Structure 1
Amino acid sequence: MRSRRKPLLLAVLTAALLTAGATLVPGTAAQAEPAECNSAPWNSGSVYVGGNSVTHDGGAWRAKWWTQGEEPGTTGQWGVWESLGACDGGGGGDDGGGEPGDGFVVSEAQFNQFFPNRNPFYTYSGLVDAMNSFPAFAHTGSDAVQRREAAAFLANVSHETGGLVHIVEQNTANYPHYCDTSQPYGCPAGHDQYYGRGPIQLSWNFNYKAAGDHLGLDLLHNPSMVQNNSSVAWRTALWYWNTQSGPGTMTGHAAMVNGAGFGETIRSINGSIECNGGNPAQVQSRVDKYRDFTARLGVDPGGNLYC
């Protein structure tokens, strides 16, 4: 049965809104998003206590008690995170549309389109979370430069992992070969435990040691963290991209923001194994993927694509 008080209630509501300086649009309801939509994005490495608010995956969340590393939206109704509602374009990541989340030039929808067969391990939220450790990545230079860098990074990791399908190196015969016994710290996890893992296939004991030292993680003793935690995997890839020149002369990040070109990012990852005629088919595979991603991001690929 309809209420006969509706006209009176509408009149009262209209008067209240006008008194507050608001504008009532006919045929619409005023729906304010949670104030917590202005909260900082959730970070897997941060500690939260009861009452702390974060944004994540297009929504606002409040911690009920102490927590660290528990992702909002995955702990269930009785878990630590209480949903406060959706954020319309707020700081909580991408809502599945075409706009980037958390300031990244690649939206979650685009990411899913880039990697239609990706392993669920490689989450968009894990990548965006890892980017907090490397704020210069895809945030340096013009919008075109930022899009080229994002495309270059994703093209290389796509090549390394078969489209973000493989978490670990597939050739197990190589596993015992990544222990450099000349290093003073040796290979405490075992001589066959430093094989390629993650988006850029982090390998060798000295790389696990250096990446772990930079990220505040004991990867030398616990290399399996890279294949068990999405954010850690992405952070090791971004560590290499932003800080390591490998067999090249500059980092992948520097190559893209300084105009050296995509070819130099290949050199920093695999050097003469692929470059200088080492394996032109592999180089072409990376370049093709880079061209595809830049086209989807609406930016030209620039010059110097080959090494």
Structure 2
Amino acid sequence: MFKRAFTSALAVAGVVATSLVAATPAHAVAFQTTAANLNIRSDAILSASVIKVLPGPTSVEVDCQKSGDSVTVPGRAATTWWAHLPAHGGYATVGYINTPGTKLPGVPDCPPDPEPPADDVTLADVQAMFGTRIANPSLVQTGLPSLNQAMRDANINTPYRKAAFLATLVHESRLEYNIREIGDTRLYGGRGYIQLTGDFNYGPAGRYFGIDLLGNPELARSLQWSAPIARWYWTVARNINPMADALNMGKVNAAIGYPAGAEDQRRCDSFKNAIRYLTGSVPGGIICTRPAAYAGDTSKLTRAQFDALGQTPGALG
């Protein structure tokens, strides 16, 4: 049972402009924007992903508005209100809409965001598990709906599996869906929750989802694809849930694909912290070190090659 505090779920996640219906609801109200290039975000917070940039000034239709991050535009009072633009599938700050006040007249408030499912991981949960490793809470919050969906899709549904998955991602990306590996200028360098790396991963992941990751590697750190790609790596490129079930964090780390070293213990400590939070105690039998066969960099191995490392010659199963 999670020790959770109330946090609201973000209602809009992983939406691309091409999938949006351009029709305007009958109750929408017309306004004029004031910016030459206005960011339309997936939610009413400044860390939410920019799903498109709207040229302008131009006319827009607004069907509702919600309170979010405060924005101050020169010459105007600060506003926390954001307009939902149904034709563009996202939110724009009221600060760049031509209106005399800080809230739009004649526009209803958006319905409250639904609470997350009971088993979903919240921002409060990951902060309790990992402390200061959660360096950008609002960005982590933006990605959690898609991350929780990926966990459901991957059957990451037990405390051990959740602890292994989240401990891995907090070390790979600080649980920030759009992170790029610092200083990595390679075309297929680390991106996203699980820091997808190498054409040997971008190619198969793209084929699995039917997208061109080789031609557009930046998709790997988009709100739409970052979490599904992490799920793909966890269950398709590798089969990591059974390793978590066995409390074998050493093998989990080997499956992620980096050479053995001090980082293994740091990740294992995070795994223990997560289990302690999720269950109230740390079980015996956690394995933090790797067998010798897994000590090297396994990142370029196929799943079959990785699985074969654990097979003893002549053994069955």
Partners in 1 of 2:248 and 2:25 — Cα distance?
Answer: 47
- Corresponding residue for 1:261? 248
Aligned residue identity for 2:233: Y
Instruction: Give the gaps of 5 or more residues in structure 1.
Output: 1-39, 94-100, 141-145, 176-191, 246-250
- Corresponding residue for 1:214? 208
Please tell me whether residue 108 in structure 1 is matched to residue 123 in structure 2. yes
TM-score (norm 2): 0.54
What does the per-residue CA deviation read over 1:140-175, in whole Å, with 9 as the maximum and x for residues that have no partner?
A: 4xxxxx222222111112222367599222354xx5
- Corresponding residue for 1:270? 257
Aligned residue identity for 1:148: Y
- Corresponding residue for 2:265? 284
TM-score (norm 1): 0.55
- Corresponding residue for 1:10? none
Aligned residue identity for 1:270: G
Kindly indicate whether the alpha-carbon contact (under 8 Å) linking 2:234 and 2:240 is maintained by their aligned counterparts in 1. yes
- Counterparts of residues 220-259 of structure 1 (less than 5 Å): 220-227=214-221, 229-245=222-238, 251-256=239-244, 258-259=245-246
Kindly indicate whether the alpha-carbon contact (under 8 Å) linking 2:235 and 2:241 is maintained by their aligned counterparts in 1. yes
Instruction: Give the root-mean-square deviation of aligned CA atoms.
Output: 4.0
Q: Name which structure has the greater RCO, CA cutoff 8 Å, separation 6+.
A: 2
Q: Identity over the aligned pairs, expressed in percent?
A: 22
- Corresponding residue for 2:111? 85
Kindly indicate whether the alpha-carbon contact (under 8 Å) linking 2:247 and 2:287 is maintained by their aligned counterparts in 1. no
Tell me the CA shift for residue 202 of structure 1.
0.7
What does the per-residue CA deviation read over 1:69-126, in whole Å, with 9 as the maximum and x for residues that have no partner?
A: x3xxx434579x9743335xxxx24xxxxxxx23444222223443545246843332
Aligned CA distance change for structure 1 residues 285 and 216 (closer, same or farther; 3 Å): same
More moved, 151-160 vs 43-52: 43-52
Partners in 1 of 2:253 and 2:197 — Cα distance?
Answer: 16
Kindly indicate whether the alpha-carbon contact (under 8 Å) linking 1:50 and 1:63 is maintained by their aligned counterparts in 2. no
Partners in 1 of 2:108 and 2:211 — Cα distance?
Answer: 29
- Counterparts of residues 89-100 of structure 1 (less than 5 Å): 92-93=114-115
More moved, 211-220 vs 294-303: 294-303
Please tell me whether residue 127 in structure 1 is matched to residue 144 in structure 2. yes
Please tell me whether residue 204 in structure 1 is matched to residue 198 in structure 2. yes
- Corresponding residue for 1:7? none
Kindly indicate whether the alpha-carbon contact (under 8 Å) linking 1:130 and 1:234 is maintained by their aligned counterparts in 2. yes
Aligned residue identity for 1:110: D
Partners in 2 of 1:44 and 1:165 — Cα distance?
Answer: 11
Partners in 2 of 1:103 and 1:170 — Cα distance?
Answer: 35
Tell me the CA shift for residue 213 of structure 1.
2.3
1:263 aligned counterpart, secondary structure? helix
Kindly name which structure, 1 or 2, has the bigger radius of gyration based on alpha carbons.
1
Aligned CA distance change for structure 1 residues 102 and 215 (closer, same or farther; 3 Å): farther
Aligned CA distance change for structure 1 residues 241 and 139 (closer, same or farther; 3 Å): closer
- Corresponding residue for 1:21? none
- Corresponding residue for 1:37? none
Aligned CA distance change for structure 1 residues 301 and 137 (closer, same or farther; 3 Å): farther
Please tell me whether residue 155 in structure 1 is matched to residue 181 in structure 2. no
